[in-house]
Amino acid sequence: MNREKSSYAVQTVEKALDILEALTEESRHATLPYLAERLELSRNKAFRLLATLESKGLVERDDTTGIYRLGISSVELAQRLLNSTSLIRHAHPVMEKLARRHDEAVYIAVLKGEEVLFLDMVDCEQAIKTAPLVGKRFPFFTNAAGKAIKALESVDLLEKLLKKRGKNNGIPDPVRFQSELTNVRERGFAVDVDGLGDGIVSVAVAVRDYAGKVIGALTVLGPSFRMITSRLEGELIPSLKEGAETLSLKFGYAKL
């Protein structure tokens, strides 16, 4: 294959991936015309890409509305990919232990750009619980996992980030937020109230690898009436710190 054909093949793969990404974000209006316009494709090319993805079960089309959505093969592929990652494989037993001990939802989350992605969860048996967040992304400053991870970046990087995001960065008070991250760094854990929804409290501790790099955060979520201060300080935070230390050790991290 010559360079021109190779380049075309890569562009086609990129556009196919763009379609899959678009379908993870939009499910109500994902018709052929909508996707073609959004991805700047001709309708003919968009149709051919969608037909190929549909033949592999990666997308499905509603014959009545013409709306496309992710197919069952995409879900299965994503699940196999998640299960194969070492972080989830090592984290899940630790999460199960925490969930059994405290009967609250436990997550492992990672930072993707400036967003937190919730990778895996072990749910609780409580009658009242938070909605599942696996696969969802949130700005790092709206939750304990993001704060626990960001707090361990260098002060210079944090200052540059806050300046880069500018006045309309979504952070209500950047100066106060930076002070909060300093406290998180000193205490070794983060707590957030209402950032993921009214009445939801999240608490998190960062996980490190052999080089000391933060690779994720163990997080517990629950309704505020159960996540009271005395329980956080006397029960959940010590357990999360222990769990994060255990998980970090699995990745070769040795605290000096």
What residue ranges in 29-133 does DSSP mark as E strands?
59-61, 68-70, 105-112, 115-122
84: exposed, middle or buried (C-beta count within 10 Å: 0-12, 13-18, 19+)? Answer: exposed
What ranges do the domains of the chain cover? 6-74, 85-251
Helix (H) or strand (E) holding 202: strand 200-208
Residue with tokens 């994720």: 216
CATH 3.30.450.40 corresponds to the domain 85-251: yes
Token pair of 240 as six digits? 């999360």
Contacts made by residues 163-167, CB under 8 angstroms, sequence distance 24+: 165/114
Token pair of 98 as six digits? 């925490």
189-223 per-residue burial string, b: 16 or more CB within 10 A, e: under 16: bbbbeebbeeebbbbbbbbbbeeeebbbbbbbbbb
pLDDT digits (tens, 9 = 90+) for 30-83: 899 999 998 889 999 999 999 999 998 889 999 889 999 888 887 767 665 655
Walking along the chain (256 residues) 10 residues at a time, the average pLDDT comes out as 48 84 78 90 92 90 90 73 72 95 95 89 91 90 95 69 58 83 94 94 94 92 95 96 94 78
- Residue 24, pLDDT score: 81
Residue 183 carries which side chain, given as an amino acid letter?
N
100 within 8 A of 126, measured Cβ to Cβ: no
**Whole-structure pTM over 0.75, yes or no?**
no
The CATH architecture that domain 6-74 belongs to is: Orthogonal Bundle (1.10)
- Residue 195, pLDDT score: 92
